[in-house]
Chains A and B, each alone.
Chain A
Amino acid sequence: MMKSEQLSSRFYEISEKEKGKISILLKGKIDIKNSAHILKKLTPAIKGNSLSSLVIDLGEVDYLDDFGALVLLEIKHLVAEQKAKFNVVNVKDNIKEILSLVNFESHEYFVPLKKYKPPNILVDLGETAIQHTDNIRFFISFLGSVILSFIHVCIHPKDLRINDTITYMKKTGVDALPIVALISFLLGLVMAFMSSLQLQQFGANIYVASLVSIAMVSELGPIMTAIVVAGRSGSAFAAEIGSMKISEEIDALFTMGFNPTIFLAVPRIIACIIVVPLLTLFSDVFAISGGLLVGVFMLDLSTTSYINQTIKTLTLFEVMWGMGKSFVFAAIVAWIGCLRGFQTRGGADSVGNAATSAVVSSIFLIILFDSIFAVLRSFW
């Protein structure tokens, strides 16, 4: 316990004249540099005493800003906890101004702030449920709005923003070609190599050509291409539309009499469903050439026989089936990208979330629809 001894430093002096009656003399400049230090030193000295009153003397303070006011406030709190009297004396005029500016006398500082979200499982559960319902409702209404916009564009082709559509065709199609070509080529290579390990044992080398072409054209080509497009363009759509949304640009479009769906979503979706099937064709061709490379250099097949076998295996139906799938996948990727963009609300992080969730939902839906196609085909 502190007796009549004095605790002091450059910034403060504590003295206890009678038991429980403490006075603190603050000195010099109290600002960001020393407020934390002073608080750390004074807190135990005040807490450790059974106080009846505490007086703070500001007579020797020449400068005090809101960090200084904070020191006073924290001490006031500590004193209030002990139900003792608190007094500030010798306040200069300029310091008085600062204290009134931060509402020092206000009692609100003793009322803890309301928590933003009550930590209640039931409330959370309800909120999440409502959110999901809203989400699904938006999902459906956006689908409807896209379909209506398409009908509108079919009837009034002039309303389609042709230039935007062409730009997006370039961005989603032409710019994606190198990466799609590379991935497909390597995929064809690997597939041919792996299957040859098995087929060689039966001397059935030539069926490597069949395997690569059929697997690529009807399954992997459309899926791979759609996934690459989802990662490149779906996320970009979501981010573009999302940042337009949070900076009120979409509201601006709306007030100018544009339909945001026709203005933003339709060109992107049309661009996607035109170029993604084409990209898929390229992907097929590159995969087959990857397989050809393995066939010719590792399996002693001739180029002609490999190509002949490929042509024999691939029917027109097979090719159209793959293209049809990639058409559907393209629509899904573009639609989800735009949907997530329009759903964006809040700040910069929500744009990131929109992009992420566009990719994740696209991939999920691509795989889901691929399975549906497989089931359909088994009933053909």
Chain B
Amino acid sequence: MKKQAIINVKNLVARYGDDLILKDISFDVFEGEILVVLGSSGCGKSTLLRHMIGLDRPFSGNIMIEGEDITSSDDSHFNALKKIGVLFQSSALFGSMTVAENIALPIQEYSGLSKSSIANLVRMKLCMVNLDGYENYLPSEISGGMKKRAGLARALALNPKILFLDEPTAGLDPVSSAEIDELILLINKSIGATIVIVTHALDSILNIAQRIIMLDKKTKSIIAEGDPRYLKDNSQNVSVRQFFNRKAKSRI
């Protein structure tokens, strides 16, 4: 059974000023899948994510979310944003609001629930990421890993159809990382969310990814696509095998 594509990236070229970051990239994200974007540091994963969300305009090419081209007009971009939840690499929590207020913000705007209900819902969301009890802390008063989890809870606030997670487990201990992985799987299964993740954590890639896309800094394009468990041993490309088997590049 071929699943339906929910995001199409077509011939995307991304530039910052004169720097070409991504050269002619095309791929699809299918409904309900977990897609992991990986690649060496600085190869443009966050950039790709920012383009898929529409925060940066592509130099050329299109990005369609549920058939709507978000690069074509502000309206379609705005429509698409309602289906999207994003966890930024640096969490991007609002520093002047408490953790609970950060999560409650989109819920207040879109759900029509009463104040006390929202407070309970926020507590549920925080329970999911094991942060209950930290409602009234400011982002500056919690640790880096806790910020990540709070950011994840905020991305999940409206149970969006599509979740973009930029390094959700960076800076977390192995146990918390494994819990986050499990949470991601569960959200994918129970809510049916499509999830696009950027991560470097090998074991979580092998655990949760149904499909991966690997970017390369030199060719500025996709060098591998498919099931990570297969690519790990069978990829034609040396750097793909090196990545999965944690080998350093030979310097000679």
Q: Which residues of A contact B (CB under 8 A)?
A: 31-32, 35-37, 39, 65-67, 69-70, 73-74, 94, 97-98, 101-103, 106, 108-109, 113-114, 116, 246, 345-350
Contacts and interface: CB of A to CB of B under 8 A. Distances in A.
B138 A65 contact: no
A346 B117 contact: no
Contacts of A65: 159, 190-191
Contacts of B132: 103, 108
Contacts of B189: 94
Contacts of B112: 36-37
A252 to B, nearest CB: 15
B105 to A, nearest CB: 14
B26 to A, nearest CB: 33
29 contacts: A32-B159, A36-B111, A36-B113, A65-B190, A65-B191, A66-B121, A66-B128, A70-B113, A70-B117, A73-B120, A73-B124, A98-B190, A101-B127, A102-B124, A102-B125, A102-B127, A103-B124, A108-B132, A113-B123, A113-B135, A114-B136, A116-B98, A345-B140, A346-B95, A346-B140, A347-B138, A349-B96, A350-B95, A350-B96
B175 to A, nearest CB: 17
Binding site secondary structure of chain A:
helix
B78 interface: no
B121 A67 contact: yes
B158 A32 contact: yes
Interface string B128-147: 10001001101110000000
Nearest to A98: B190
Interface of B: 94-96, 98, 110-114, 117, 119-121, 123-125, 127-128, 132, 135-136, 138-140, 158-159, 183, 186, 189-191
B127 A246 contact: no
Contacts of A94: 189-190
B127 A346 contact: no
A345 B141 CA distance: 10
B140 A66 contact: no
A109 B119 CA distance: 10
A27 B143 CA distance: 41
A236 to B, nearest CB: 20
A378 B215 CA distance: 76
B113 A39 contact: yes
Contacts of A39: 113-114, 117
B117 A32 contact: no
B61 to A, nearest CB: 32
Nearest to B136: A116
A36 B98 CA distance: 24
Contacts of B191: 65
Contact of B128 (A32, A37, A101, A113): A101
A70 B96 contact: no
A271 B198 CA distance: 45
